[in-house]
Amino acid sequence: GEATGTLTVGGVAPADARGRVGLLMQDPEAQVVLARVGDDVAFGMENLGIPREAIWPRVEESLSAVGLDVPLHHSTTELSGGQKQRLALASILAMGPGLLLLDEPTANLDPSGVAEVPAVEAVVERTGATMVVVEHRVDVWASLVDRVIVVADGRIAADGPLREVLDQQGDALRERGMWLPGDDVAAEVGPAPEVAPASSEGAEEEEGARGATPIARVTDLSIGYDQDAPVRSGIDLTLERGVSTCIVGANGAGKSTFALTLAGLLPPLAGTVEVETSDGTRGDPHEWSSKQLLGRMSMVFQEPEYQFLASTVAEELAIGPRAAGMSEEEIAPLVEEHMDALGLAKLARANPMTLSGGEKRRLSVATALISAPELLILDEPTFGQDRGTWLGLVRLLRAALERGVTLVSITHDPAFVAAMGQRVVDLGALGRRGGGESRGCAESALASPIDEADSGRASRTSVGSESGDSADAATNGNATGTEVPADDAPASAATAGAARTGVPTLSRAPRRGLLARTNPVARVLALLVATTPLLITIDPVSAGVALALELALVPLSGVSARSFFLKATPLLLAAPLGALSMLLYASPGGHVYWSFGPAAVSDHSMWLALGIGLRMCALVVPAIALLDRIDPTDMGDGLAQILHLPARPVLAALAGARMTSLMAADWKALERARRARGVGDASRIRSFLRGSFSLLVFALRRSGKLATTMEARGFGAAGRRTWARPSRLRAADAVLLLVAIALPSIALAVSVIAGTFALVGR
């Protein structure tokens, strides 16, 4: 956009106040910079040059304040949307900025998370910071704000103390979509129609309670993305036809994963999902084609951008009906009806990607409803809605319910539950937790309020360890070790912090493999030392000796045999091909056994072929062993602290590495969205081209937002940067380098003694 006039922060331009302003945006994913929870919270403090011994206690305090109870080594990619929002808020609070800018900070949080607004208040009181909140829900912040500014039609419509503004313009604010303290918006649409009582677990519901058969039943269901680490197991639930069911639960409980599995977009890890449609079709929706899902089931994703396939809002709404075979004359009025119902008529020609968060959410709901599904699954349908659009959305869903559509809504919104929850199911009360979910999640305050003070905090482990002592060593077989001196140990600092804040003491995680004790920089250097001499020689003796020594040392690396052979599979193909090429086309020498045109097999070519094949293996084997599961964050710490590379490119590369890792997940999500929209059965080439373009758009948009996040957390600020995790070389690294020197030395010495030593090209 364009700006006129001047803007200063603390008397200086915003670019010169980097790190003094904490910014929380709507998109949780774009606010995560690094791969581990603790590192991400520490990132801003490192940029501001905060001493290492002060960083980890503040990390713990901030995470506890926002209620994100996961280990500090926990992967940020495994957090739910609400948990990522808590993480972003914790990262900002830890910096202690003079100005807090919060853009709908509670939109993705469960009710217990909204109750943690006092954590922000405590920081404001302690630091004297100024806070600016962009929010539809005035009621959440009523006890904290001193001043309310209402922006309408591009100008300031009201400005003053909260009570004064509410008394003078309360009705006008309600008309403009504001949520005001004391309002019961659910009462305006009336309570959800009552149905006959049923068990919350659903396993023992009487099917005749409403005179209708169930539309869906899950039995002993396990959900998740990894067979060995289910998010939740043993789920039993029956969904009655024509009933609106609200699924509630804490952030990270697996609600979105359950919704994707129920919609046939994720395969069950165990158990069964059975859906029966009105035409008598019965089965697991995951086994249905995309075209078969259309008109039977539809889903509104938590991230609406995944669902968008067209360049305009009107075209987006027309995709489902067109795929169902409707004529253009039938589609046009249907599209207009849905745009009018959800306040999107003025945006008919707009690109869906340019809409606001709330507008995107309404469009995603409309794209699902317009396909007239029998079962509609919605993941956070009211996210980002103001009062007026919330009412319009609920009324539209009520109308769908009256038409017989079965609704299943994943929600944190108590008002939505009151308006649409004919059945309310707490997912935390179903089945049992699996190993693949975040730890420490409280049960949902909607269904089973708890006293968080009595619930206890999950123990966080090994975040204070320096690069290499992380718990990733236990979970991933990776570590990068550099020893933490007593005066540097974040664990000891956190112990002191525990006495002040009640934060649990940090502990170390067990290590696996001798290489787990080494620094990633040492591993890379060892790889270069061990392989470079083999690049300039060609004889098979040196390569064979080196390969034999390497294979003897592989078991000490901690790499499992299965993992090693899987990663070596390309080598098993490439080495014979390289040897064959040398066998046929090397300069002939000695006795010639066979020839045909330019190809010839001779003593010399067989000798070179053997040398090339063995040498390729000798180069790849140490790479597999030494580079296995190197953590990018630990590598970045080593590059900056040991090799003294500039911090900016190192950190930018780390953020880019995380972005790259997200692209695979984005691709799968885009495939699921196309399947849900009824266009997932297109040709592979067409799907690949469309998906590639969407993926590029996602990457560019997310990169821009991530750059904003990094700058808001002090990236590039003037002054010396500190590092939360010290990274040093130690005795284990020296041993590794000595072994790396010995390997080629022994191999070359043997070849010289044997009289076979030969340089490349000679």
Mean pLDDT in residue range 1-8? 79
Per the model's pLDDT, the better-predicted residue between 680 and 112 turns out to be 680
pLDDT at residue 172 in the model: 84
Most confident of 408-422, 440-454, 473-487: 408-422
**Backbone angle region of 182, left / alpha / beta, with phi > 0 → left and psi within -120 to 50 → alpha:** left
Residue 184 reports pLDDT greater than 60: yes
pLDDT at residue 475 in the model: 35
Per the model's pLDDT, the better-predicted residue between 28 and 284 turns out to be 284
| Six-digit token string for 271 | 């158990």
What 3-state DSSP class applies to 632?
A: helix
Question: Using N-to-C axis directions, what is the helix angle for 313-323 and 357-369, rounded to 10°?
Answer: 20
Could you give the dihedral angle defined by the CA atoms of residues 648, 649, 655 and 658, in that order, rounded to the nearest 10 degrees? Answer: -160
Per the model's pLDDT, the better-predicted residue between 427 and 228 turns out to be 427
What 3-state DSSP class applies to 543?
A: helix
* pLDDT class of 496 with cuts at 50, 70, 90: very low
- Residue 122 carries which side chain, given as an amino acid letter? A
pLDDT at residue 724 in the model: 92
User: DSSP H helical segments within 203-350, as ranges?
Assistant: 255-262, 290-293, 313-323, 328-341
- Partners of residue 594 on adjacent β-strands: 601
pLDDT at residue 265 in the model: 93
Mean pLDDT in residue range 424-445? 64
Choose the weakest-confidence range: 310-319, 420-429, 469-478: 469-478
Q: How far does Cα 91 stand from its chain's mean position? A: 16
CA–CA dist 622, 568 (Å, integer): 11
pLDDT at residue 478 in the model: 36
CA–CA dist 582, 283 (Å, integer): 56
Contact 46, 95 (CB under 8 A): no
CA–CA dist 572, 580 (Å, integer): 13
* pLDDT class of 46 with cuts at 50, 70, 90: very high
* pLDDT class of 447 with cuts at 50, 70, 90: very low
Question: Using N-to-C axis directions, what is the helix angle for 52-66 and 117-127, rounded to 10°?
Answer: 140
Contact 92, 369 (CB under 8 A): no
The pairing of beta strand 155-160 with beta strand 148-152:
antiparallel
Residue 752 reports pLDDT greater than 50: yes
pLDDT at residue 659 in the model: 82
R_g (Cα) of the chain, nearest Å: 30
Tell me how many helices (H) and strands (E) the chain has: 26, 17
pLDDT at residue 442 in the model: 32
pLDDT at residue 200 in the model: 43
Among residues 670, 638, 667, which one has the least CA distance to residue 654?
638
For 194-215, the pLDDT digits (tens) are 775 544 444 444 444 443 589 9
| Six-digit token string for 493 | 């600092």
Residue 349 reports pLDDT greater than 90: yes
* pLDDT class of 112 with cuts at 50, 70, 90: low
Tally of CA atoms within 13 A in the half-sphere of 177 that contains its CB: 16
pLDDT at residue 745 in the model: 94
Residue 451 reports pLDDT greater than 50: no
Contact 428, 243 (CB under 8 A): no
Among residues 611, 645, 621, which one has the least CA distance to residue 757?
611
For 589-598, the pLDDT digits (tens) are 888 888 888 8
- The per-residue pLDDT of the chain, averaged, comes to 81
Residue 703 reports pLDDT greater than 90: no
Contact 360, 304 (CB under 8 A): yes
Mean pLDDT in residue range 284-306? 89
* pLDDT class of 436 with cuts at 50, 70, 90: low
CA–CA dist 414, 525 (Å, integer): 56
Percent of the chain with pLDDT over 90: 29
Choose the weakest-confidence range: 112-126, 279-293, 301-315, 642-656: 112-126
For 593-630, the pLDDT digits (tens) are 888 888 888 888 898 899 899 999 999 999 998 988 78
Would you give the DSSP letter of residue 132? E
Q: Would you state the CATH architecture of domain 212-433?
A: 3-Layer(aba) Sandwich (3.40)
Contact 423, 240 (CB under 8 A): yes
Residue 645 reports pLDDT greater than 50: yes
Tally of CA atoms within 13 A in the half-sphere of 564 that contains its CB: 18
Per the model's pLDDT, the better-predicted residue between 311 and 462 turns out to be 311
pLDDT at residue 524 in the model: 94
CA–CA dist 58, 497 (Å, integer): 8
CA–CA dist 397, 436 (Å, integer): 33
pLDDT at residue 461 in the model: 39
Would you give the DSSP letter of residue 508? P
Per the model's pLDDT, the better-predicted residue between 686 and 370 turns out to be 370
pLDDT at residue 761 in the model: 63
pLDDT at residue 43 in the model: 94
| Domain boundaries, given as residue ranges, for the chain | 212-433, 520-557+559-627+732-754
Q: In this structure, how many other beta carbons lie within 10 angstroms of the beta carbon of residue 700?
A: 10
CA–CA dist 737, 525 (Å, integer): 7
